[in-house]
Amino acid sequence: MDLGGGENRKLLPLPTLVRNQQYNGRLINQDNMRNWYLSRRMFLVDALSGREKSITASPKVIRVATSVRIRFQLVPRTQEGQIFPPLMTVTYTDVPITDINTQTVSDVYASFFFYI
């Protein structure tokens, strides 16, 4: 996140919620906000983790970010237009690889939400 500010410019990490993230074989980040595990990083395409046994092997699946949402919310009762830290929400889809030379990836959606 870029806060601007001319010479005092700062880049801050953007909290990122991965909707279908797994931990110990079960999905997390599904229900209660108190149990969310937020990250600082995201990727659009991951062709590395779908490889079996060797990093030089062809991937069996490619993980693709199919939904990226950024939510902005104003702090109530402020005159200066202050906002809470934005929240990025990412959903990934695993795409099985059948023919790496001709296969295409499904649609990717990006959206921005502003709440007053």
Per-residue pLDDT tens digits for 46-96: 888 888 888 888 888 888 888 889 898 888 888 777 888 889 999 998 888
Contact 74, 85 (CB under 8 A): no
Separation CA 21–CA 24 (nearest Å): 10
Per-residue pLDDT tens digits for 23-32: 888 888 888 8
How confident is the model at residue 90, as a pLDDT? 93
The helix/strand/coil state of 73 is strand
Q: Global pTM?
A: 0.75
Query: Is 116 a residue whose pLDDT tops 70?
Result: no
Domain locations in the chain? 6-115
